Chains A and B, each alone.
Chain A
Amino acid sequence: MKLLLKGARVIDPSQKIDALMDVLIEEGKIGACGTAITASPDVKVIDLTGMIVAPGLIDMHVHLREPGLEYKETIASGSAAAVAGGFTSIACMPNTEPVNDNRSITEFIRRKAAEANLANVYPIGAISIGSEGRQLTEFWDLKEAGIIALSDDGKPVMDAALLRRALEYASSLDLPVIQHCEDKNLSAGGLMNEGYYATILGLPGIPAIAEDVMVARDILIAEYTRTRIHIAHVSTAGAVRLIRDAKARGLNVTAETAPHYFTLTDESLQDYNTNYKVSPPLRNATDVGAIKEGLADGTLDAIACDHAPHGRTDKEVEFEYALNGISGLETSLGLSLNLWHDGILPLPELIAKMSCNPARILSLDKGMLAIGSDADITVINPDLPWIVDVKSFHSRGKNSPFHGLKMKGRAVLTIVGGDIKYNGLAEKP
């Protein structure tokens, strides 16, 4: 099928395009891009006046829970959530049950993703067997099976020597290593950000230095080994400063943050609502300010929502027993658009952090609208008002602290490989 997207503002940061243009999609590829493209009779024309056409959004940090924890999410439901949230590609973390630490799990994930046939799903393999931090997995075999990065997300690599070897070994395969930075000794027993609110709530604190110390350590290890490292879900002012300094010194360090880290503070936890329980924890207003600065000055390359769907039984418990995470794929773009509404990021830069930057970090041939590239496109209505309703989530995880929040702007059309996978154009606000 041929599609002609007419009259939208086309923003492709990879080519520095920001203009009113038409985009023609043929054979699953970008066929043409230009002004006043005329449609032959076999082309379906979609009028997108007032909309933004962007390269398909990429979330490089999601948890799809399958295999093993299908009650929280399946690859199919997670993919449906992705396209509904405007994401054409997602990279899924290996902390399934069993952990994605071998070829068979990777192949299983890819097969399930192909069956779902919605978003592109890129598996991330475990650094260590079982993500237990002892023995490296077979990076080579995993790469051949289809992983695009390595991480023990959720379980930081505490052993500095192991991380050193992982970075070195991965560098020979050009596989990025993504590290969840948290010193487990400093965070031990902690349930929320250490500070005033943890003090008044009587909840054990996780100090910001638990993150900062490991970011600093990992930057040093990457520098010494002359490898690259990607820092996941940055939440602290200290981590932003360390990454900024590392970049200034020319090190190959990249970083992402999640929408909740620039939207919420630990003040939100006051009624013990477990939907605000995330790892790393929500920090204070200074940290939120620093995250926004880091996004604005390029210290933070990417926005990834750390989509962590959970079942009701995981969250409807005492705060101490609740699991960490937010089901984020369907609110990520809306929350990120606030950065533009609030004047923190120009729209092209925002789109870059959600498309071409993660593509670059993961070495994916995605995140662009160049002629001949895959027709992965996200159409955004940037001002559409809507209200978050978890009941309408495609994700099985209804765990969102943003339920009921008024949003401005969302994806209205998600095209993957030339096929429309999500169409919200007809929906009235």
Chain B
Amino acid sequence: MMKLEKKDILGIREMTVDEINLILETAESFLEISTRDIKKVPTLRGKSVINLFYEASTRTRTSFEIAGKRLSADTINISASTSSVVKGETLIDTARNLEAMNPDIIVIRHSAAGAPHLLASLVSQSIINAGDGAHEHPSQALLDMMTIKAKKGKIHGLKIALVGDILHSRVARSNIYGLSKMGAEVVVAGPATMIPRDIERMGVKVYTKLDDAIADADVVMMLRIQLERQKQNIFPSLREYAQHYCLNRNNIKRAKDDVIVMHPGPMNRGVEISPDIADDPNYSVILDQVNNGVAVRMALLYLLSGGNE
């Protein structure tokens, strides 16, 4: 019998290799359900999953919602604009209110790093971190790992480059933990303003030039550039960023011939990734990531559900 010992999924940092493998293998079995005519199994019938989103998100929320529904759980979406958040209710009070309604799992997205940890310390329900500030986004890293494993047959020994605004990226942090644990060589790249201090201690190599980072890479993961960072002088202009950090037909030749290109979305076409790379099925696995995302989230909901023993 396999079992996930955790009450919550807060980050990849706290996960063991066995746990990651269990989640990935479970997710692989869930892939098939999404190919059926009736894309639904009764497994979590009568369970309720609350998607508590304090930050706008379409794809992650939808992905969790579809995952819950395909497992027959009741999914309820609460977003900051429709909940009492705007009236100034604290996370603690929201948590206690939700707890009183007795859901089984709460999925939380929050702009403040650590908010899921606070929630997990307050309620008995399982908490899944769907992204907190620049901290972690564990389900994204798991779906990325699942995608890499499916395309490459393994993660161990691969060279994987993460390029972009590492400083503000929770996707980068979760992937650095996950991919390193699984035995990949992880390198990050971006202008020095986008590289967080002492990141080398996370076990990654740091490059400031795209070409150096992606040389001989098996996987290149491009991160979304957020325009509002320009105001913080993290970069001078999208134009200049795109000239030096956009993955295109030309520079991708530096990577391995069978390189795959990933992006957590939403993409800025022509900024961090050129459209012809994003749309090239020889390189891009971006839509596989989305498909695997539902399976990974089904696996998380499935493995976390169950009574308290």
A and B touch in the complex (CB under 8 A): yes
User: Could you list which residues of chain A lie within 8 angstroms of chain B, going by C-beta atoms?
Assistant: 189, 194-196, 198-205, 207, 271-272, 313, 316-321
Q: Given the complex of chains A and B, what is the CA–CA distance between A189 and B13 in angstroms?
A: 25
Contact A195 B170, CB 8 Å, known A272-B113, A272-B117, A317-B90: no
Of the listed stretches B127-135, B149-157, B216-224, B241-249, name the one at the interface; the rest are far from the partner chain: B127-135
Beyond contacts A272-B113, A318-B91, A320-B114: 18 other A-B pairs, Cβ-Cβ < 8 A, are A198-B197, A199-B196, A199-B198, A199-B201, A199-B202, A201-B114, A201-B135, A203-B135, A271-B117, A313-B90, A316-B92, A317-B90, A317-B118, A318-B110, A319-B113, A319-B115, A320-B111, A320-B133
B113 engages A320 (CB within 8 Å) = yes
Contact A318 B118, CB 8 Å, known A202-B113, A272-B113: yes
Q: Which residues of chain B are within 8 angstroms of A313 by Cβ–Cβ distance?
A: 90
Interface residue from B91, B118, B133, B197 paired with A202 (Cβ < 8 Å): B133
Q: Given the complex of chains A and B, what is the CA–CA distance between A204 and B197 in angstroms?
A: 11
**A–B Cβ pairs within 8 angstroms, 12 of them:** A194-B197, A200-B13, A201-B135, A202-B133, A202-B136, A203-B113, A204-B134, A205-B196, A205-B197, A320-B111, A320-B133, A321-B112
B135 engages A202 (CB within 8 Å) = yes
**Smallest CB separation, B231 vs chain A (Å):** 11
A196 engages B112 (CB within 8 Å) = no
Q: Given the complex of chains A and B, what is the CA–CA distance between A129 and B111 in angstroms?
A: 35
Q: Which residues of chain A are within 8 angstroms of B118 by Cβ–Cβ distance?
A: 272, 317-319
Q: Which residues of chain B are within 8 angstroms of A205 by Cβ–Cβ distance?
A: 196-197
Question: Number of residues in B with C-beta < 8 Å to the partner?
Answer: 26
A319 engages B114 (CB within 8 Å) = yes
For A284, give the chain B residue with the smallest CB separation. B198
Q: Given the complex of chains A and B, what is the CA–CA distance between A189 and B168 in angstroms?
A: 13
B198 engages A195 (CB within 8 Å) = yes
Scan residues 270-296 of chain B and give those whose CB is less than 8 A from a CB of chain A: none
B113 engages A200 (CB within 8 Å) = no
Q: Does B199 contact A (CB under 8 A)?
A: yes
Contact A202 B90, CB 8 Å, known A318-B110, A320-B113: no
Q: Given the complex of chains A and B, what is the CA–CA distance between A313 and B88 in angstroms?
A: 12
**Smallest CB separation, B228 vs chain A (Å):** 12
**Smallest CB separation, A311 vs chain B (Å):** 12
**Smallest CB separation, B226 vs chain A (Å):** 14
Contact A317 B91, CB 8 Å, known A202-B133, A271-B117: yes
Q: Given the complex of chains A and B, what is the CA–CA distance between A195 and B198 in angstroms?
A: 6
Q: Which residues of chain B are within 8 angstroms of A203 by Cβ–Cβ distance?
A: 113-114, 133-135
Q: Which residues of chain A are within 8 angstroms of B199 by Cβ–Cβ distance?
A: 199
The 9 closest A-B pairs by CB, nearest first: A202-B135, A272-B114, A202-B134, A318-B112, A196-B198, A320-B112, A199-B196, A202-B113, A319-B114
For B121, give the chain A residue with the smallest CB separation. A271
Q: Which residues of chain A are within 8 angstroms of B114 by Cβ–Cβ distance?
A: 201, 203, 272, 318-320
Contact A317 B92, CB 8 Å, known A200-B173, A202-B113: yes
Q: Given the complex of chains A and B, what is the CA–CA distance between A316 and B119 in angstroms?
A: 11
Scan residues 139-194 of chain B and give those whose CB is less than 8 A from a CB of chain A: 170, 173
Q: Which residues of chain B are within 8 angstroms of A199 by Cβ–Cβ distance?
A: 196-199, 201-202
For A188, give the chain B residue with the smallest CB separation. B232
Chain A CB count within 10 A is highest, among B133, B170, B199, for B133
For B202, give the chain A residue with the smallest CB separation. A200
Q: Given the complex of chains A and B, what is the CA–CA distance between A367 and B14 in angstroms?
A: 50
A202 engages B117 (CB within 8 Å) = no
For A320, give the chain B residue with the smallest CB separation. B112
Q: Given the complex of chains A and B, what is the CA–CA distance between A271 and B115 in angstroms?
A: 10
Q: Given the complex of chains A and B, what is the CA–CA distance between A133 and B69 in angstroms?
A: 56
Q: Given the complex of chains A and B, what is the CA–CA distance between A203 and B112 in angstroms?
A: 8
